[in-house]
């Protein structure tokens, strides 16, 4: 699993794009969550609660590689990816 730091940027057409940086690789989700909390403190931002990502219900099944998401007040988010 990977801990990604997702930073929003504006594209040339004004759309939101994200720059993803792999911060850590581990098989332990708790270790990845702890690292994200440490990175929040280093950035001077209060850590937010983690939200799990479930498949969207409906006719088409949508699969996401993201297991957990933490969205911060400064627009940056952390994602734990399979």
Give the chain's domains with CATH numbers.
Answer: 2-81 (3.10.50)
Give dist(CA 48, CA 29) in Å, integer. Answer: 16
pLDDT in tens, the chain (82 residues): 999 999 998 878 888 888 999 999 999 999 999 999 999 999 999 999 999 866 556 666 667 788 899 999 999 999 999 8
> How far is CA 63 from its chain centroid?
16
Give dist(CA 76, CA 45) in Å, integer. Answer: 10
What's the pLDDT score for residue 38?
A: 97
């Amino acid at each position: 699993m990977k801990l990604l730091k997702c930073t929003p940027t504006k594209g040339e057409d004004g759309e939101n794009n994200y720059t993803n940086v792999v911060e850590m690789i581990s098989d332990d989700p708790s270790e990845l969550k702890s690292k994200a909390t440490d990175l929040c403190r280093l950035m001077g931002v209060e850590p937010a609660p983690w939200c799990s990502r479930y498949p969207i219900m409906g006719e088409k099944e949508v699969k996401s590689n993201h297991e957990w998401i933490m969205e911060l007040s400064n627009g940056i988010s952390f994602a734990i990816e399979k």
